[in-house]
């Protein structure tokens, strides 16, 4: 049990390869590595790649970044594919989301939605909780 | 020719000493050293001694080499500045409605020229799939159609966008770094259909193929990206007198984290690289450099932004004269259309962004920019609502009409502080340019990721200084009231995506598909030739691409071929 707890958290950071705005996710990649996590960073062409890589890499957490569009399609697909494959992974989101949609995303099964002004400590807390 | 006599400098030294004595007596202990946003140390006061080495010829009257004080012979009040904010959402019809609304309340290409010289501007940001060459029905486009900009795919979209509009009086810009060839080829064919001669068309070509040095969504690796610039430039040099052929952007690197000094050095290095590549295909800098234009970043540090623009103008003039032997004055003047920094806007209390944007727009005007791009305050929440777009336009209009700021050219010229900061940025950027050379030059720094690493280090430093509270962001990390607004926000209806898919499929069904395929095959051949036989094949892709749009191809099909042949293993669809 103790051994389990000490296991290094592994996180997949994923962003569509169409979206240039990578300042946030690259910053988070560094912060999470500094916090002792193992980080895998991918640029995906279609969102089906996200659940696949999550399984292959056996990650504990997925972080997806969106500049603004795309999440409304990608997030339900990723959650559904993870469910189908029986993989329990926490999904957190970062980027620009209309704040009135955040409750909906949380209801869908997302564990946290963060924006450019979120203190990184808050993100780490959500990931490690 | 020094500007101050020995006597003035002596007196300045004397009074500074007295000032120091007085302030240190009253303040007790020294305060933390102040810095600009980019980290340049600043003093509490500046005097002639800070610019004693500056010669009159470094800052002569505006309109004169080396253009530190700008290119203008007349104040803005006489000929205005360009109003460059983008408008784009949903379908071309949605975008057109928004534009026409803004035009009714005064949006024109040049502010202050509404009656005298009525020109319009369409600064169109495309949605992400259109930028990346995915038609609305491509799997990659799901959830993204029309959401972050205008969806553009077929000639029908242009029909809806431009019908009844005077193309010769409208300046066009498509914000789409990798999509310039198909977008502009399609526009040329549309103009042809309307019977408007190409030489009457006005547009800016973004020509940003090299953008992978500052982020990683670029479609083409450096070895091919370097060819696309000269290809497009050579095509538009002849027969398009109102086309500006290449953008030199500091905005995107600035958003990726560049300090003002890095922005100046890295963008100058980029411009020199493009120039060298064009020389290799046989072009004369004096023909194409005058048609470059700048797109700089604007920071909230008002004086540093002003100094940055001034330093860059002076460096540009000297470099293009000395390094490339440019003779035409126009080659030594990079017209600049800066944009207010999006990363400086915040989600919390978003209305505060109206103030931030106004300060940045003011900096652009004080710096003598050729255009003002005031962003919408809600840019960090969603694509602009109509109200926010209106406020952005009003920002420009209030600056021009209500403040008297347009009456005097370069009002900050001669300020001890601004001139000193200008000198400092020039010196540091020159040093950085030398470092790029030492590291093997622009291409090497691009391919090795050195530029990227420099920017991300700065981005990290910036974010950490906010998190630690060293850099105050009002309402965000200081006096935060913690009341995130959950009221309904502006968004483009998901219905747009379904309609757009139907439209592109109907378009493909009505055309002569054999003819389209033959034209696309010819395009593929030309692009392969570009890949394998450069530079002798330069100039062959654009004419064939125009033919493909005559044969009713779509944006996705044309760009798909470019990406397939020159990109990172794109496989295409259908």
Q: What's the pLDDT score for residue A5?
A: 55
Task: Taking residues B445-452, report their average pLDDT.
Answer: 96
Using a CB-CB cut-off of 8 Å, the residues of chain B touching A46 are 139-140, 142
- Check B148 against A67: CB less than 8 A apart: yes
Taking the Cβ of residue B381 and every Cβ of chain A, the question of whether any pair is shorter than 8 Å is answered with yes
Nearest CB among A73, A99, A103 relative to B489 is that of A99
Cα A21 to its chain centre, rounded Å, is 16
- Predicted TM-score (pTM) of the model is 0.95
Q: Which value does ipTM take for this structure?
A: 0.93
Of B123 and B197, the structure prediction assigns the larger pLDDT to: B197
Taking the Cβ of residue B571 and every Cβ of chain A, the question of whether any pair is shorter than 8 Å is answered with no
pLDDT tens column, B216-250: 888 899 999 999 999 999 999 999 999 999 999 99
pLDDT tens column, B461-490: 999 999 999 999 999 999 988 766 666 778
Q: Which residue of B has its CA nearest to A67?
A: B148
Secondary structure of B527-552 as H, E, C letters:
HHHHHHCCCCCCCCHHHHHHHHHHCC
pLDDT tens column, B58-97: 999 999 999 999 999 999 999 999 998 888 889 999 999 9
> Token pair for residue A79?
């959650």
Taking the Cβ of residue B482 and every Cβ of chain A, the question of whether any pair is shorter than 8 Å is answered with no
- DSSP letters, B413-460, are TT-HHHHHHHHHHHHHHHHHHHHHHHTT-HHHHHHTTHHHHHHHHHHH
A30 to chain B, closest Cα gap in Å: 9
Range of the domain at A12: 2-128
Q: What's the pLDDT score for residue A1?
A: 45
Residue B405 CB neighbour total at 10 angstroms: 17
Residue B26 pLDDT grade (very low, low, confident, very high; cuts 50, 70, 90): low
Give the total number of structural domains in chain A. Answer: 1
Record: fold of B31-60+226-236+246-337+408-474: TIM Barrel (3.20.20)
Q: What's the pLDDT score for residue B29?
A: 57
The domain spanning residue A15 has which CATH number? 3.40.50.280
Taking the Cβ of residue A18 and every Cβ of chain B, the question of whether any pair is shorter than 8 Å is answered with yes
Q: Which residue of A has its CA nearest to B475?
A: A117
Taking the Cβ of residue B255 and every Cβ of chain A, the question of whether any pair is shorter than 8 Å is answered with yes
Please state, in angstroms and as integers, the Cα–Cα distance from residue B47 to each residue in B2, B420, B440, following that order.
15, 9, 40
Q: Which residue of A has its CA nearest to B378?
A: A98
Taking the Cβ of residue A71 and every Cβ of chain B, the question of whether any pair is shorter than 8 Å is answered with yes
Nearest CB among A18, A116, A121 relative to B128 is that of A18
Is the separation of the CB atoms in B310 and B317 below 8 Å?
no
- Check B459 against A74: CB less than 8 A apart: no
A4 to chain B, closest Cα gap in Å: 32
Domain ranges of chain B: 31-60+226-236+246-337+408-474, 69-204+493-574
Task: Taking residues B393-410, report their average pLDDT.
Answer: 97
For B457-466, which contacts have Cβ atoms below 8 Å and span 24 or more sequence positions? B457/B257, B458/B257, B458/B258, B458/B259, B458/B262, B459/A23, B459/A26, B459/A27, B459/B256, B459/B257, B460/A27, B460/A30, B460/B257, B462/B257, B463/A27
């Amino acid at each position: 049990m103790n051994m389990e707890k000490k296991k290094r958290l592994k996180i997949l950071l994923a962003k569509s390869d169409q979206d240039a705005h990578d300042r946030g996710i690259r910053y988070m990649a560094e912060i999470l590595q500094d916090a002792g996590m193992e980080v895998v960073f991918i640029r995906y062409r279609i969102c089906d790649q996200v659940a696949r890589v999550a399984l292959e890499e056996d990650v504990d957490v997925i972080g997806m970044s969106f500049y603004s569009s795309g999440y409304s399609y990608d997030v339900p697909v990723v959650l559904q594919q993870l469910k189908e494959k029986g993989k329990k992974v926490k999904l957190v989101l970062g980027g620009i989301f209309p704040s009135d949609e955040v409750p909906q995303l949380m209801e869908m099964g997302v564990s946290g939605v963060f924006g450019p002004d979120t203190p990184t400590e808050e993100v780490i807390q959500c990931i490690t909780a | 020719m020094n500007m101050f006599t020995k006597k003035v400098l002596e007196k300045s030294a004397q009074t500074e000493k007295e000032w120091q004595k007085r302030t240190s007596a009253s303040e007790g202990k020294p305060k933390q050293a102040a810095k600009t946003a980019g980290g340049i140390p600043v003093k509490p006061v500046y005097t002639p001694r800070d610019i004693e080495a500056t010669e009159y010829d470094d800052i002569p009257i505006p309109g004169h080499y080396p253009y530190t004080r700008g290119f203008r012979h007349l104040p803005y009040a006489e000929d205005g500045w360009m109003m460059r904010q983008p408008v784009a959402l949903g379908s071309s019809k949605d975008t057109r409605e928004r534009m026409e609304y803004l035009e009714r309340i005064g949006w024109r290409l040049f502010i202050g020229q509404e009656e005298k010289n009525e020109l319009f501007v369409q600064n169109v940001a495309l949605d992400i799939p259109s930028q990346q060459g995915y038609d609305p029905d491509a799997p990659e486009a799901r959830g993204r159609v029309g959401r972050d900009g205008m969806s553009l795919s077929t000639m029908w979209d242009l029909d809806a966008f431009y019908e009844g509009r005077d193309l010769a009086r409208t300046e066009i810009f498509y914000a789409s770094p990798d999509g310039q060839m198909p977008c502009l080829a399609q526009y040329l064919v549309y103009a042809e259909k309307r019977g408007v001669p190409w030489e009457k068309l006005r547009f800016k070509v973004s020509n940003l193929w090299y953008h992978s040095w500052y982020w990683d969504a670029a479609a083409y690796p450096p070895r091919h990206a370097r060819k696309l610039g000269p290809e497009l430039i050579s095509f538009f040099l002849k027969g398009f007198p109102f086309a500006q052929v290449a953008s030199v952007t500091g905005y995107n690197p600035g958003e990726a984290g560049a300090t003002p000094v890095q922005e100046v050095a890295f963008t100058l290095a980029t411009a020199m690289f493009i120039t060298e590549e064009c020389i290799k295909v046989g072009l004369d800098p004096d023909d194409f450099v005058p048609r470059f234009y700048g797109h700089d970043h604007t920071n909230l540090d008002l004086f540093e932004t002003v100094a940055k623009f001034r330093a860059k103008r002076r460096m540009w003039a000297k470099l293009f004269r000395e390094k490339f032997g440019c003779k035409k004055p126009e080659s030594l003047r990079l017209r600049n259309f800066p944009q207010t920094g999006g990363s400086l806007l915040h989600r919390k209390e978003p209305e505060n962004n109206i103030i931030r944007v106004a300060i940045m727009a003011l900096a652009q005007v004080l710096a003598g920019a050729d255009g003002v791009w005031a962003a919408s305050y809600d840019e960090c929440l969603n694509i602009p609502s109509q109200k926010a777009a209106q406020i952005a336009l009003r920002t420009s209009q209030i600056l021009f009409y209500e403040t008297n700021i347009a009456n005097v050219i370069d009002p900050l010229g001669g300020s001890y502080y601004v001139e000193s900061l200008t000198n400092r940025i020039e010196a540091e950027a020159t040093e950085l340019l030398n470092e790029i050379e030492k590291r093997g030059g622009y291409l090497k720094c691009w391919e090795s990721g050195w530029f990227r690493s420099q920017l991300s280090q700065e981005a990290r430093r910036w974010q950490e200084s906010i998190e630690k509270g060293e850099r105050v962001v009002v309402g965000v990390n200081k006096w935060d009231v913690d009341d995130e607004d959950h009221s309904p926000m502006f968004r483009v209806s998901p219905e747009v995506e379904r309609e757009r898919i139907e439209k592109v499929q109907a378009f493909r069904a009505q055309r002569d598909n054999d003819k389209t395929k033959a034209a696309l095959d010819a395009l593929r051949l030309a692009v392969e030739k570009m890949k394998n036989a450069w530079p002798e094949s330069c100039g062959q892709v654009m004419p064939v691409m125009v033919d493909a749009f005559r044969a009713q191809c779509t944006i996705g099909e044309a760009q798909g071929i470019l990406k397939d042949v020159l990109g990172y293993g794109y496989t295409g669809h259908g």
